[in-house]
Chain A
Amino acid sequence: MSKEAEYIVRKVELNKDEARLAQIFSECFGPTTQRQVQRWFRQANKASAGWFRSLVAEIEGEVASSVTVELKELHLGEGVCIKTGGIGGVCTSSDFRRKGVVTNLFEQCLKYVENSGVSNSSLYTGIMLPAHRIYTRKGFMNVEKWSAYVKILDLASYFRSWIRNLNRYVKSSKIAQETLLNWDRCIVFELRERTVCFRFKHGRFKTLPKPPRSVDIAVATTTETLARVMWGGEEMRKAIETQKMQVKKGTESDLHVLRKILTGIWDA
């Protein structure tokens, strides 16, 4: 952990904080608008009948981190439905990470759950996210992983919308922008059905209609493997080791950046 920051923890003030929260949410969870933040907070507050609590940490007058907790129901079977403190929106702006701020907010929320007479807390996260380690340290156990069945009908279009989302994400994420600073590369995926390629230049990703003459990273794989890596179901390193992904061109550091692009985990 780097130098401990001085900060205050306070309840969220909707009309004051939503713009900043939209920025932090965009960086951590993908493009989020102020309106979406507002709607989410209102719905959560209504559903929790006022029990909902959202805390933010402020460093030098700027909101740096947030955690929310709302009252949810957990179906345990036999008609038994118990209350659970549903924790969500755990995020920190990339400028203020590794200072223990979000861990403190998280502990405050857990205390709130305990003091409210709710016996347990639950949350959804990603196993590959750094936050997963915090949750495990705080006594959370993995209950079940999600699986998905995917059918891609129009690969080119699916790919284009992924690139569009990626651009929206990079626009709002400082850490992604820093990672991709001066990174100008052409990437080609040779998939069984077709070859898809894109380029990152001048801070933007762009789909290319056909592979350029000069390619920086070339990977041969299947759509399934690519999707599994993107969804976090398979590690890119393992896919390469097991030959499910064959790297035809690309340096180690370029592949490291490509892994971040594919998984969307920039600070791991």
Chain B
Amino acid sequence: MRKMRLETREMQQSDAKQLQKVFQSFVSSYVGPSARKLAAFRRMASKKGKLNWVAFDSKGKVVGYITSTYVKGVRQGRINEIVVDPDHDFEAVARPLVDRIHDIFLEKGAASIHAITIRNPYYEKIFPELGFFSVKTDAVFMLAVHDIPRFLDEVTPIFVRRLEKLHNWVGWLKVNCEGHTTFFKKKDKEAEPYVWTNYKMDIEISLKANVLAGLLLGALNPQEALKEGSIRIETALPKDETNKLVTTLFPKKQFLAFDFW
């Protein structure tokens, strides 16, 4: 984790590429590569009325950014997003950015400042120190799966990429979602999905569609789901190997998955 002298300045349209790069690496460390396109960053950097700032190192490289808005009518400052290059300490980069925006809001005469997040654990460290208090709202994001085979098809690349991250495991995996199945063969470094096979499975995971969605979105804890029986596993593999496979498939740190609903 690098620590160096950082400076801040207002975001410019020419930062778009760097912003995308920082965002990609930040998101990759949590949920894997993001699908947010360069145009979105260009829009973000040029939008009128936004208070967006970047933190940059001595070489001028952008290492983090903050986006915010000020609503004049209600004198309310809103912090929308804080993104930091994972090579740098989140707090060390985010702090000067938050301080800067905080000061701007004060200068503008804000009556209140709000920072809303779905699940960014760093917020807990930064905001209470600045005199913010946390409010768990009753607002909730809900999801329903209507077409299980299609949903399973759509999420198959996630399983492939996560299996590829699992080193030293070779074998067959079957995912059974309410009677609809997908098969995966994991070789050395590659994983391949199959529609059907009569090969003997090393592990079979059976679960309901909403449990699958909850696990992929990081809303459910795979270990708890296993205990509660909402995931059923049939395997002859040792327990620690099974656990490793399950936690690789469903990592519990996906707080960015919803940021662009």
Q: Is there an interface contact between A121 and B144, defined as CB atoms closer than 8 Å?
A: yes
Give min CB distance, A109 to chain B, whole Å: 11
> How many angstroms from the CA of A125 to the CA of B132 in the assembled complex?
25
Q: Is there an interface contact between B112 and A78, defined as CB atoms closer than 8 Å?
A: no
Determine the main DSSP class of B at the interface with A: mixed
Residue of B nearest to A76 (CB): B216
From A75, A77, A142, contact of B142 by CB (8 A): A142
In A62-87, the 8 Å CB interface with B consists of 72-82, 84, 86
For the A-B complex with A150-B112, A231-B137, A234-B136 known, give 16 more contacts whose Cβ atoms are closer than 8 Å: A75-B256, A79-B32, A80-B158, A84-B261, A117-B150, A120-B147, A121-B144, A124-B139, A144-B140, A146-B137, A146-B141, A151-B132, A151-B133, A154-B111, A161-B111, A231-B138
Q: Is there an interface contact between B217 and A144, defined as CB atoms closer than 8 Å?
A: yes
* In the complex, per-residue mask of B234-261: 1 if CB is within 8 Å of any chain A CB, else 0: 0000000000000000000010111111
* In the complex, per-residue mask of B98-139: 1 if CB is within 8 Å of any chain A CB, else 0: 000000001000111111111100010001101111111111
Give min CB distance, A62 to chain B, whole Å: 30
B residues in contact (CB < 8 Å) with A: 30-36, 73-76, 106, 110-119, 123, 127-128, 130-148, 150-151, 154-155, 157-158, 161-162, 210, 213-214, 216-219, 254, 256-261
> How many angstroms from the CA of A202 to the CA of B116 in the assembled complex?
36
Q: Is there an interface contact between B135 and A227, defined as CB atoms closer than 8 Å?
A: yes
> How many angstroms from the CA of A16 to the CA of B73 in the assembled complex?
30
> How many angstroms from the CA of A227 to the CA of B139 in the assembled complex?
14
Given the interface pairs A148-B137, A233-B137, the reply to whether A110 lies near B32 with Cβ below 8 Å is: no
Give min CB distance, A267 to chain B, whole Å: 15
> How many angstroms from the CA of A145 to the CA of B133 in the assembled complex?
17
In the complex, which residues of chain A have a beta carbon less than 8 angstroms from the beta carbon of B134?
A: 147-150
A33 at the interface (CB under 8 A from B): no
> How many angstroms from the CA of A19 to the CA of B75 in the assembled complex?
28
Q: Is there an interface contact between A138 and B144, defined as CB atoms closer than 8 Å?
A: yes
Residue of A nearest to B138 (CB): A232
Residue of B nearest to A126 (CB): B138
A200 at the interface (CB under 8 A from B): no
In the complex, which residues of chain A have a beta carbon less than 8 angstroms from the beta carbon of B131?
A: 151
A residues in contact (CB < 8 Å) with B: 72-82, 84, 86, 110, 113-114, 117-129, 132, 135, 138-154, 157-158, 161, 165, 223-224, 227-228, 231-234
> How many angstroms from the CA of A233 to the CA of B118 in the assembled complex?
14
Q: Is there an interface contact between B111 and A149, defined as CB atoms closer than 8 Å?
A: no
> How many angstroms from the CA of A135 to the CA of B136 in the assembled complex?
21
Q: Is there an interface contact between B158 and A126, defined as CB atoms closer than 8 Å?
A: no
Which residue among B74, B112, B117, B148 has the maximum number of chain A CB atoms within 10 Å of its CB? B112
Q: Is there an interface contact between A135 and B31, defined as CB atoms closer than 8 Å?
A: no
Q: Is there an interface contact between B112 and A75, defined as CB atoms closer than 8 Å?
A: no
In the complex, which residues of chain B have a beta carbon less than 8 angstroms from the beta carbon of A82?
A: 151, 154-155
> How many angstroms from the CA of A146 to the CA of B119 in the assembled complex?
7
> How many angstroms from the CA of A123 to the CA of B116 in the assembled complex?
17
Which residue among B73, B134, B210 has the maximum number of chain A CB atoms within 10 Å of its CB? B134
Given the interface pairs A120-B144, A141-B210, the reply to whether A74 lies near B137 with Cβ below 8 Å is: no
From A84, A129, A146, A232, contact of B143 by CB (8 A): A84
